[in-house]
A = this chain, B = another copy of it.
Amino acid sequence: MASPPYTLYFGTFVHLPREKSGLHHELAIHRGALWVSNDDGRIQGVDWSVEGHGGLLALVKSKGWVVAGTNTSEYGFSKKPRVRIVTADEEKNEFFFPGFIDTHIHAPQYPNSGLFGTLTLLEWLQTYTFPMEKSFQDVHRARTVYKQVISRTLANGTTCASYFATIHVPATNLLATLCKQAGQRALIGRVCMDRVDEATDYRDPSTEASVALNRDVIRHIHAIDPHGDHVQPILTPRFALACTEDAMDGLAALAADYDPPLHIQTHISENKNEVAAVEAIYGMSYADVYATHGLLTPRTILAHAVHLSDTEKATIAARGAKVSHCPASNSALGSGLCPVRSLLDAGIQVGLGTDVSGGYDASVLENVRQACLVSRLYRHTDASITDDEAQRLVLSVGDALYLATRGGAAVVDLADQVGGFDVGMSWDAQLISLGEKVSGETKGGEENRVDVFGTEDWGEKVEKWVWNGDDRNVSAVWVHGKLVHRREGLERYTTCGSSWGWIWGVGAVSIGAFVALRRLRG
């Protein structure tokens, strides 16, 4: 059965507008309808004035559509375009939210999630990370891990991720193929690291190879996804301590060979000892190393940026490079408290990264929380910060959700494509369900761990989701308008056997709409 040409989403929509008026980003909360063309997966229109099922059906009628699945004699032979309806159920405190964008995640490190002991960055790399990555010469192992990473990140609402893979071409190509198959947007980077490190045998065989091996990956990705709708290559010099100057120059030249230039990602200024080592080797600041070697471009993602000087921030802003803020990782490895507000003040675009497995959790939502927490603790790094200044540094829930959506979209150079519910954007979205409100009957966490008591407004419900939500609240995930994940439990709502039929029942209320429609006609 062909998919209907339109999908009409109905219920509460929450996103972050592109613009803000004051210090903080404020949630935009709409109740109404939004429709997507299933040809290109883009949002064709919104109508926030639609109320109730009557309003919904009036909208359908005014558009000249007919609801898919209503194959009664009245509709069976209609030539009108069919529309599928997906409802966010108000009783279950459901809402649509843009998909999360994870701007920094090391896919092969996923099996090490939570394993870092009491180590800091440089020791942790040698002890946990390099041995794990090295094992990805085994493509079978890579397949098991990468499938799980994609499954987990989708289940956490990550519709787009910028992945570091390993140095291995076959496993990196496999990661791209698996993302494409799963329908997740992804930037895929083969890790480049040619600087000889006596402590590890995990490195590129030569500087030439460190650059040239990327061509195989680029070719593969362009072959499986010529328009880059899902997967794109991203050049990935690991960090200044792991790359030679020739390799950095070569990668910068390789990026510029393409139109538009290829994406680039690396690490910067994560840990003070690392910063000192970089300055000792190169005789210049960390940002200047990358600037000198052509790696600071408008399509560059710099992970961490915890200890940048004001001069470095200005350099990065001037080149238009972007930052991936990874608060869970920075706290776990004790790297430091990133002053996000100062990066934003400098005019740098910032997104969030899970940085698995320096970060212990593949969930962007966990990093929304950690971004809020770190911004509240930052004042304690400097006794001279006044109460007023401290308050300005704080990221609100809205600010952190902006970083997780619009901010991340800018970081992966998709600001006009994803991150919000603007007309023309791709329907990359999550259906969040907080569950029914607490009544006399208690629940002990089986369904999810957010408790709505019924007195909360929608802004407060979103705050509760941010602070206590997890993958259990992610009922469904779409990329390019296509369903790419749904919670297993939702099978109980399935109302027909066709491949897309379950969607009908996501909110269960759509059944009500169906019945209401028939009543309307009757």
Which residues does A use to contact B, with CB under 8 Å?
24, 110-111, 113-115, 117-118, 143-145, 147-148, 150-152, 154-156, 273, 331-334, 336-337, 360-361, 363, 369, 372-374, 376-377, 379-381, 387, 390-391, 394, 396-397, 438-440, 442-446, 449-451, 453, 455-456, 460, 463-468, 470-472, 485, 487-489
Contacts and interface: CB of A to CB of B under 8 A. Distances in A.
Nearest to A395: B118
Nearest to A450: B114
B376 A113 contact: no
Number of chain copies forming the complex: 2
Given A113-B451, A118-B376, A273-B387, 16 more contacts: A114-B465, A114-B467, A118-B394, A145-B453, A154-B444, A331-B376, A331-B377, A332-B467, A333-B376, A334-B376, A336-B377, A380-B381, A381-B381, A444-B471, A445-B471, A470-B470
A150 B396 CA distance: 30
A451 B334 contact: no
B442 A147 contact: yes
Contacts of A446: 487-489
A445 B156 contact: yes
B445 A376 contact: no
15 contacts: A111-B455, A114-B467, A114-B468, A145-B453, A147-B440, A148-B442, A151-B442, A151-B444, A332-B372, A332-B373, A332-B376, A334-B376, A381-B381, A444-B488, A449-B470
Nearest to A379: B334
A488 B468 CA distance: 20
Nearest to A182: B442
Given A111-B451, A148-B451, A373-B332, A360 B443 contact: no
Name which of A114, A456, A464, A468 has the most chain B CB atoms within 10 A of its CB.
A114
Contact of A396 (B118, B337, B471): B118
Nearest 9 pairs between A and B by C-beta? Answer: A114-B467, A334-B376, A155-B444, A151-B442, A445-B471, A360-B467, A331-B373, A155-B445, A114-B464
Nearest to A394: B118
Contact of A467 (B110, B113, B380, B381): B113
Nearest to A444: B155
A485 B446 CA distance: 12
Given A118-B391, A334-B394, A380-B336, A361 B113 contact: no
A451 B444 CA distance: 22
A3 to B, nearest CB: 23
Name which of A147, A380, A397, A455 has the most chain B CB atoms within 10 A of its CB.
A380
